[in-house]
Chains A and B, each alone.
Chain A
Amino acid sequence: MVSAPSPTPEGFRVATAPPSAAAAAPATPDASAALTAQPGTGRHAAPQLRPPLPVKMVIAGGFGVGKTTTVASISEIEPLTTEASITEVAAGVDDLTHTPHKTTTTVAMDFGCITLDPTLKLYLFGTPGQDRFGFMWDDLVEGALGGLVIVDTRRLDDCFAAVDFFENRNLPFAIGVNVFDGSLDHDLDEVRWALDVNEGVPLVLFDARERGSVRDALLVVLELALARAER
């Protein structure tokens, strides 16, 4: 067990306040916390509960491969579902006023969380893996520690979009082959060949129903992320 003495005991990194917040900075101790205070926060005189530092990982994959099961296995809360839509990613009112026929696509997204310690909370977002949901990934992967792409070896092509996306965004990710039915139709080398991912992408077998198995798969991703960050 590696103990990681954190140079920042409370887990908040010193942040540079954005210019707009800088004016308010003297009044706000929070402005120097890792969570960048938004403009205006400095005017809050009363102390609030300090929230934990939120970190997130993305669980991607096609429909029915076990994303929600994976999240549920390790989340400390029942997985929640929220909806996000394309409207905001489409640059807001300005553009849409000129394309009034644009429709709003709403997709459900399951997520859970794990409080790792009082100052650190890991969120797991499960996201649909189809191409047409790519817009959500931009939103999701910004600031994500890494991704786990879950594949069902009977439907490998379902995860291509997620693999492509994570590769393009240079997000540390691993392929998790869900063996929830106890069988594996292909060996891992075949899976790797079929997915055409390089040797740097870990390929792990895991069982989405087992918390320990999910945890280990996530750890593979995190250790890859750590190795990259240390470089």
Chain B
Amino acid sequence: MASAAPAEGAQGSPQAGAVRPLRPYVMADDPEPPPAPEPAAPVAPAVPAAPAVPVETDAPPGEPPSGRNSLALRPFLLTAGRVAGSSSGSSDPPLPLETQVVATAEGLAALDGLAFERQAIVAACRVPQSLAELAARLRLHLNVVRVIAGDLHSARQLAVYVPQASTAQDVSVLRRVIDGLRAVPDSRGLPRGNRPA
């Protein structure tokens, strides 16, 4: 990210002023990124017309957004062309699908000031849920949700709980999962007896 951004910026900056106003939807709430705890990599400017943005291959560049239907937009317009992981440093692996996200009080307080997907995400996260659920329920691309969730997290509007991979080898967790699953009744609603070994 950090290495590519200057190059991209060099391509995109002269045009950025001209390009971005055409896409109010994209820039609706994308001011300067909030000061991140880590030295924030410069956010790539929204340059939908640049061929360097890899996520759109099927539509001619520079095509204005058609109407208000967000699904008609190429998904990564919503993230200013960033893909998962770029908001918090490209070395970070993408957030796991089951990562739990919860709206913060700050996020809920700012709800009215948020636009579109961000508002929808924060509102949906009144109840803790996974990124996968969020993407499915809001009909957003999973990786778009990853990026926006990262942004909201940086803005302190969303708490992100990243599960640890080592949990999978944790005996006590495995026992709890097994016990919990054993209690699941079968289709007739009868709780299950002891499993034969």
Contact = CB atoms under 8 A, between A and B. Distances in A.
Interface of A: 1-4, 6-8, 11, 13, 15, 20, 23-24, 30, 33-41, 43-46, 48-56, 73-74, 80-85, 87-89, 91-94, 96-97, 99-104, 106, 109, 111, 113-114, 116-117, 120, 122-123, 125, 139-140, 142-146, 210-213, 215-216, 218-219, 222-223, 225-226, 228-230
B137 to A, nearest CB: 7
Contact of B161 (A35, A91, A229): A35
Nearest to A106: B141
Given A83-B141, A87-B143, A139-B97, A2 B164 contact: no
Contacts of B159: 30, 37, 41, 44, 48
B192 A212 contact: yes
Interface of B: 1, 3-4, 7-8, 36-38, 44, 51-52, 54-57, 76, 81-86, 88, 90, 93-94, 96-106, 127-130, 132-133, 135-137, 141-143, 146, 153-154, 156, 159-188, 192, 194-195
21 contacts: A33-B161, A35-B162, A35-B163, A36-B162, A37-B159, A45-B106, A46-B104, A50-B128, A51-B100, A82-B132, A83-B135, A83-B142, A93-B1, A97-B8, A120-B176, A142-B96, A212-B188, A219-B181, A222-B178, A226-B174, A229-B169
Contact of A219 (B93, B166, B195): B195
A208 to B, nearest CB: 12
Given A46-B105, A48-B104, A13 B167 contact: yes
Contact of B182 (A85, A87, A219): A219
Contact of A88 (B52, B57, B94): B94
B54 A102 contact: yes
B120 to A, nearest CB: 15
Contacts of B143: 84-85, 87-88
